[in-house]
Structure 1
Amino acid sequence: MGEPVPMVEIWRGDLLESLHSGHAVICGADGDILRAWGDPGTVIYPRSSCKMIQALPLVTSGAAAKYGLGSEQLALACASHNGAAIHTDRVSAWLDRLGLGDADFRCGPQEPADLSARDALIRAHERPCQVHNNCSGKHAGFLTLAAHMGAGPDYVEIDHPVQQAALAAFEDATGEDSPGYGIDGCSAPNFATTLHGLARAMARFASAHDRSDRASTAAAQLTGAMIAHPDLVAGEGRACTALMRAMEGRAAVKTGAEAVFTAILPEKRLGVAVKITDGATRASECAITAILAGLGVIDPASPAARAYLNAPLLNRRGMACGSIRPAAALG
């Protein structure tokens, strides 16, 4: 990994208490780098920031059309959701449509991030199911593709047709041969790429409406679904949902574990990828917001932007005692 640059500062009083460094790339529709911070050649796992790429075969194969999937299901296929009722009810109904159940998932159970859903499970003396997993929408997409292909049930295995289709889509979108993969938190393979490759893929999504090939049509559909349903992509209290709502259709954004963040800007035909090297989500949220503000797609004075950009640090009594700020390099 090349040398990262300071991207986000943590101030307490008049002292710079902590510093988060990282890498970021903005790509144009031609895949060329328009601006970069740190090393664009840094190889990373995109984690959940690339779910829209993993969902491409769901659409290009004809599986989405065959099973009558609409924009809500496509948004959920790209989601890292909170496990709220608006998410789990829709994913469960999707499984019903396939004639499948929770046991067919391979993502594992997860306690909902949504407090109402979590508390309801506790009151009912029930354990979380796999449908509560933040990746259950992506896995419902995998199951749909597997059903369409007539493939076996272990769809997360690297040699399964679903994952081979995902790899082919990933390498086509990034414009790079992936050097390898790791197993994600939801048990699916996560393919490595350079930060430039990830930003190039986002730019391909952003400019998809300029082209008429099958992959581009699918990319435009998935981007449109994310923008139309920001509440399904993440949920209340989450940066993806809040930022997309504030941008009112100007961009789709997606977080990933270990402080990766991507953005698709259709009006500007730009793609953005951010990686904070220490894995701090608070820093990736600040960095992507600063970049989006710099590109003019979000008002830095809006409540959504201010929640992540120059956000106050509050102590247990609610007193402001510091702030999270973009470093000078992002200015």
Structure 2
Amino acid sequence: MTDLYAGGELLAEVVRNDVVESRHHGSVVVLGADGEVAAWAGDVLGPVFPRSAVKPLQAVGMLRAGLAADGQELALVAASHRGQGVHLAGVRDMLHRSGLTVQDLRCPPDYPLAEDARDAVVRAGHGRERVFMNCSGKHAGMLRTAQVNGWPLETYLEADHPLQRHLADTMAELAGEPIAAVAVDGCGAPTPAFSLRGLASSFLRLVSAAPGSQERAVADAMREHPLLVSGEDPTEDDTRLMRAVPGLLLKGGAEGVAAAALPGVGAVALKIDDGGMRARFPVLAAGFGRLGVNLPGQVAVLGGGRPVGVVRSVW
């Protein structure tokens, strides 16, 4: 996998008490509203694994394959949720309405990502469950899509399953380029590799799509229900920034990936080389700054519970 990605330039640094503590290299691409590259750094044409940032594209593929879902359900299908009550209730309801159960999920058992939700599970004497896993909404959507098409449910995660072949074709079409490689994500589903430019283009396509289209349905669902996409926590950037910036579509991915788009403005996609998650959003803000949009540009570094430094973009 590491051979796919050539690496990039210095994008961000961590500063504590005016001393640079660490530096983060990576790649970032900025597209204008016309889809043309407005700025870039590093390798934006070589393939990377966007990881969970492709969930909105997979949600489009499920709609194209016949998935019937309302806005809240679509937001959960595209989510990396934190396993809080609203997420768990939504996933269980999605399954129940189709005659499915949490036992049909093939994502691995896990604890909720949110500390409060995880603590509540432990206090209640429970352990890891599949529904707690942050991708369970996507898996519920995959099961319902397979069900409506009469495709096998037990093997829906196999790369050669009709569902996964259809989703791969959809992602390649939305990105405007072929998938370079396929691996297995942490949730057990196939995960594709393609370029940051393709990732940014796909997000711009979603927010620019006509009302009533399947692409626009996913973008609107995520923007209308940002809490379901991530979680109720001031540190959850997907939820926080989509609430703060009208029209913004944003989805992060593991190992330092983020992609976002604003209709009529443009899109940004990035990958941090070392997988550092806290460097993503200062770089994302720097990218949108090149499009004339001001986003929160620094992340606080805490010491003893108080700010003692920042993570900032140097791009």
TM-score range, shorter chain: over 0.9
- Tell me if 1:90 matches 2:90: yes
Distance of 2:79 and 2:125 partners within structure 1: 27
CA distance in 1, matches of 2:104, 2:197: 36
Q: Identify the match of residue 310 of structure 1 among 272, 295, 298.
A: 298
Which residue of 251, 255, 263 corresponds with 2:252?
255
Structure 2 residue 215 is matched with structure 1 residue 228: no
The answer to whether the Cα contact below 8 Å between 2:181 and 2:193 also exists between their aligned partners in 1 is yes
Q: Residue 98 of structure 1 aligns to a residue in which SS?
A: coil
Q: Which stretches in structure 2 are left out of the alignment for 5+ residues? A: none
Where in structure 2 are the equivalents of 1:1-331 lying within 5 Å? 1-28=5-32, 30-64=34-68, 69-153=69-153, 154-209=155-210, 217-237=213-233, 238-247=236-245, 249-268=246-265, 270-298=266-294, 300=295, 305=296, 309-315=297-303, 317-327=304-314, 329=315
Per the normalisation by structure 2, the TM-score is 0.93
> Aligned partners of 2:56, 2:152: CA distance in 1, in Å?
23
TM value normalised by structure 1: 0.88
Q: Is the 8 A contact 1:230 1:244 kept in 2?
A: yes
Residue-pair matches, total: 308
Per-residue CA distance 1:60-102 (angstroms, 9 max, x = gap): 22321xxxx2100000111000000010001101100011111
Deviation at 1:293, TM superposition (A): 4.3
Query: 1:121-178: CA deviations, max 9, x gaps?
Result: 1122111311111001111110111011100011110010110111000110111111
**How far apart are residue 311 of structure 1 and its match?**
2.8
Secondary structure at 1:103 match in 2: helix
Residues 225-250 of structure 1: per-residue CA shift (max 9 Å, x gap): 01001100000221101111111x22
Gaps of 5+ in 1: none
**Deviations 1:36-79 (CA, angstroms, capped at 9, x unpaired):** 11122121001001101011122122321xxxx21000001110
Distance in 1 of aligned mates of 2:309 and 2:144: 47
Q: Cα gap change, 1:115/1:218 in structure 2, threshold over 3 Å: closer, same or farther?
A: same
Secondary structure of 1:261's aligned partner: strand
What's the offset of the Cα at 1:30? Answer: 4.9
Quote the Cα distance in structure 2 between the aligned partners of 1:127 and 1:89.
18
Distance 1:139 1:30 in 2: 34
Structure holding more helix per residue: 1
3-state SS of the aligned residue for 1:158?
coil
Query: What is the distance in 1 between the residues matched to 2:280 and 2:157?
Result: 28
Alpha-carbon distance in 2 for matches of 1:33, 1:293: 14
What is the CA distance between 1:265 and its match in structure 2? 1.1
2:121 & 2:305 partners in 1: Cα distance? Answer: 30
Q: 1:169 to 1:97 in 2, by over 3 A?
A: same
The alignment's C-alpha RMSD in Å is: 1.7
1-side partners of 2:39 and 2:165: how far apart? 32
Distance 1:312 1:194 in 2: 30
Q: Percent identity, aligned pairs only?
A: 38
Counterpart residue type for residue 281 of structure 1: M
Which stretch shifts more, 2-11 or 256-265? 2-11
Partner SS state of residue 63, structure 2: helix
1:312/1:322 contact within 8 Å kept: yes
